Amino acid sequence: MGTFVPGTPKEQQELLHAAGYRDFDDLFSVIPESVYLKSPLPLEEGKSELETEETISRIAEKNKVYRAIFRGAGAYDHYIPAIVKRVTTKETFLTAYTPYQAEISQGVLQSIFEYQTMICALTGMDVSNASVYDGATATAEAAELCVERKKTRVLISASVAPEVRKVVKTYAFGRDTDLQEIPVKDGKTDLEALKAMVGDETACVIIQQPNYYGLLENADEIGEIAHGVKAKFIMNCNPISLGVLKTPAECGADLAVGEGQPLGMPLGFGGPYLGYMASTKALMRKLPGRIVGETVDTEGRRAYVLTLQAREQHIKRERASSNICSNEALCALTAAVYLAAMGPDGLKEAATQCYSKAHYLQQGLEAAGLKKAYDGPFFHEFVTVSENSAQLLKKLEEAGILGGLLLDETHILWCATEKNTKDQMDEVICLAKELQKGGEKA
């Protein structure tokens, strides 16, 4: 950090003595001596700034940088307005960890409050928490939030992303929750199977919208089935899709969760990301983590405070419904700045372009011989089936294009966003046609 000045050895000693310690060994005396380093680590000599830059550049050259990306499956390559990074890299935000002291954290608290407000507007829900670690964590936390003494079964659709299902499974194991997967039929949640599985012991039903295969689930009917047995309905939604699709609230959801990475966060090798989590007013006191509220001080001025935080998470931990006590403040700020910069019209435009470009790509690939694996409406992801799937992805990689995700030997999960140009999509389609013709001649 540009304004960070480390303490000198003399200042460090003064701090130690003021705290009642002789030296650093005395400060860390509670740590068992068996884990102490007996000798310094075998590290190289320190490098100069120029040497460091050369070393990092050499390492970075090993990275494969693609000029076009057609892969999603949970992490998406979207356009990020320049103002997002300009605001979020200010040291005021980068160095602020967590707003424990409200009287000196008004700026951070306000940014979180603004984030919560925008998430509520995006999802249609009544209340949002200050974010959790990622979309998978948000889904798992939402599931456990619904579990009660007589309602211990969680039903999750097999069309939810595999990584999300794994995290939910881990949570369920730790809490001894009965977790069952709803089968998939034609790429979507099997409604007849769901009807046969729900019962009085069902705590919640979880779906993803759009689902892992890009298809739009019949959310309204699934919500009615869940509510028919007094179970909660959880929707894991792609936030960009909410620019054009019905909100979770309009579908009857009790909880809306999802991965916030599309809201201004780069792919970044898998993180850090952001889990958004919102609910109806009836469930707001069960939300994990923290919620920032707006109030007034003794002089009637607007002020922000942490509110509705379940203290069991800090004190009576055996009674806690969640272990989450913190939040992804910087990522939440990023999402808030992105949403503010885009506005409702900008978000709708991004979503519309994602939708239209994905359909253009799908139609072109189908004309090139890659059949659509599943029928039905989709947002910006879709699955194709072809005997030449692996060869096509290799051919695209050689051309500097990251193709879709190979699900098995014949199926590819494709994704198109507003960043993909017509020329890029036409190139993918052209390469697919060339491969198909070569296969036919062979």
Residue with tokens 């885009």: 342
Q: What band does 100 get if pLDDT is binned at 50, 70 and 90?
A: confident
| 92: CATH | 3.40.640.10
Q: Are residues 409 and 373 both part of a single domain?
A: yes
- First-to-last alpha carbon distance for the chain, in angstroms, is 60
pLDDT on residue 95: 76
Of 338, 355, 385, at which residue does a domain stop? 338
Could you list the beta-strand ranges (E) of 332-430: 371-372, 381-385, 401-402, 405-406, 411-415
Tell me if 15 is assigned to some domain: no
Q: Are residues 140 and 163 both part of a single domain?
A: yes
Q: Give the three-class secondary structure for 139.
A: helix
Q: Are residues 100 and 120 both part of a single domain?
A: yes
139 closest CA partner among 168, 174, 163:
168
Q: Which residue has the higher pLDDT, 319 or 359?
A: 359
Dmax over Cα atoms in the chain, in whole Å?
Answer: 83
CA distances from residue 53 to 4, 59, 142 in whole angstroms, order as listed: 21, 10, 44
Tell me if 60 is assigned to some domain: no
Q: List pLDDT tens digits, range 51-86.
A: 999 999 999 999 999 999 999 999 999 999 999 999
pLDDT on residue 3: 63
Of 314, 338, 362, at which residue does a domain stop? 338
DSSP-assigned beta bridge partners for residue 413: 383, 405
Report the alpha-carbon distance of residue 442 to residue 439 in Å, rounded: 5
Q: What band does 1 get if pLDDT is binned at 50, 70 and 90?
A: very low
Q: Are residues 111 and 251 both part of a single domain?
A: yes
Mean pLDDT of 209-224: 98
| 420: CATH | 3.90.1150.10
Report the alpha-carbon distance of residue 111 to residue 104 in Å, rounded: 14
**Per the omega criterion (within 30 degrees of 0), is the bond before 272 cis?**
yes
Q: Are residues 175 and 302 both part of a single domain?
A: yes
pTM of the model: 0.87
Report the alpha-carbon distance of residue 380 to residue 116 in Å, rounded: 26
Q: Are residues 232 and 167 both part of a single domain?
A: yes
- State both tokens at 267: 């792919």
DSSP 275: E
Q: Are residues 256 and 375 both part of a single domain?
A: no
pLDDT on residue 54: 96
Tell me if 418 is assigned to some domain: yes
Tell me if 187 is assigned to some domain: yes
**Among 69-83, 187-201, 204-218, 310-324, which stretch is predicted with the lowest mean pLDDT?**
310-324
Cβ atoms of 206 and 168 closer than 8 Å: yes
66 CB-near residues (< 8 Å, 6+ apart): 397, 400, 401, 402
386 closest CA partner among 372, 375, 370:
370
Q: 372: buried, middle or exposed (CB in 10 Å: 19+, 13-18, 0-12)?
A: middle
pLDDT on residue 314: 61
Residue with tokens 């992303």: 161
Q: List pLDDT tens digits, range 376-408.
A: 999 999 999 999 999 999 999 999 999 999 999
Cβ atoms of 258 and 122 closer than 8 Å: no
Q: Are residues 306 and 403 both part of a single domain?
A: no
78 CB-near residues (< 8 Å, 6+ apart): 240, 262, 264, 350, 417, 418, 419
183 closest CA partner among 196, 173, 171:
196
Tell me if 16 is assigned to some domain: no
Tell me if 385 is assigned to some domain: yes
- State both tokens at 385: 């089936």
- State both tokens at 350: 């991004």
CA distances from residue 283 to 127, 130, 176, 279, 399 in whole angstroms, order as listed: 9, 15, 22, 6, 50
Residue type at 18 in one-letter notation: A
Of 319, 338, 357, at which residue does a domain stop? 338
DSSP 215: B
CA distances from residue 289 to 116, 285, 304 in whole angstroms, order as listed: 13, 11, 16
Range of the domain at 328: 82-338
**Per the omega criterion (within 30 degrees of 0), is the bond before 183 cis?**
no
310 CB-near residues (< 8 Å, 6+ apart): 285, 286, 288, 320, 321, 322
Q: Are residues 143 and 264 both part of a single domain?
A: yes
Q: Are residues 244 and 263 both part of a single domain?
A: yes
